[in-house]
Amino acid sequence: MGRLHCSLSKTLSLLFFSFSMLFCFTTASFNLTTLSFDEGYSPLFGDGNLVRSPDGHSVRLLLNVYTGSGFISSSMYQHGFFSAKIKLPSDYTAGIVVAFYTSNGDVFEKNHDELDIEFLGNIEGKPWRFQTNVYGNGSTNRGREERYSLWFDPSKEFHRYSILWTANNIIFYVDEVPIREVVRSDEMGGDYPSKPMSLYATIWDASSWATGGGKHKVNYDYAPFTSEFKELVLDGCPMDPIQELPNPDTCSETDSWLKGHDYHVITPARRAAMRRFRQHYMYYSYCYDTLRYPVTLPECVLDPKEKQRFLETGRLKFGGSARKQARVARARRRRRSRVTSIASDQTDTM
């Protein structure tokens, strides 16, 4: 049965409400098996700022003036589906990053792999933004980041965020909407993540870059900042961390099992939802950043409708959010209306 994901902030204008309603996403729910915290995860840092629920099925991560906090999966995985329902801090959140990601940087320090979902806080009254990124074999000099806004307020209620990683592709999901797919190609070579990774969730102070390029810092008058995680999912092939280079056949059964799940396939309906999301909520993509990458990286699939919206810097021509684009469109309509009115008046006086 479809679910309608259209929570809107009370602070948004009626115009933005109408605009957002045009791009609500109706998608079928995934069939998932969740874990308790102790079944799949361990504290990573900031123990006093990691608070488990009495039933052990949810956890809160806090950031205060002393420390942030985080947790890590108890195993490393060779491919998998990693997911959680997350609720972000509210009010003034500038400088804060809440991250949900896979990495093996602790094992492969110089050639690590990583798949990121990073939520970027903002000043009060401005919405959270988020970015995704893909690194393979230490390819941090070839960042593959994209940045987006959301069609709901992620601090008001829980939403599911997920990463699917297989031998052939990577899909990032918000709820059941695929927002990005990276398809492996021979040309990518070692840039495609291929080594076992752990799942991480963290909250931390990124005042130096997260909001306005470092213009707005974390204000600890609003602390503690709390992010909440529940309905945790780890579907994958666990690997012994000591076995840094596993036998490729070890996880073939798990890979086949992943292929049988609905999150493995982007149906035509989900493909259409992804296209709508990217056309209206993505405000930066490395694929359209021709100054940074004069030769487009091999995995990029350029969408003409997306491309016409971006400058050669990879950023939007008309602002960084659906709300701002709506304001620009409204201003254009007013200008056209005035021009039409003036032309009509001139005709009447002739």
Q: What residues are labeled active site?
A: 114, 118
One-letter amino acid identity for 326?
A
176 burial level (CB within 10 Å; 0-12, 13-18, 19+): buried
Buried b / exposed e along 283-308 (16+ C-beta atoms within 10 A) = bbbbbbbeeebeeebebeeeeeebee
158 burial level (CB within 10 Å; 0-12, 13-18, 19+): middle
Helix, coil or strand: residue 320:
coil
64 burial level (CB within 10 Å; 0-12, 13-18, 19+): middle
How far is Cα 194 from Cα 115, in angstroms, rounded to an integer?
A: 11
Residue with tokens 């008309």: 318
How far is Cα 106 from Cα 158, in angstroms, rounded to an integer?
A: 30
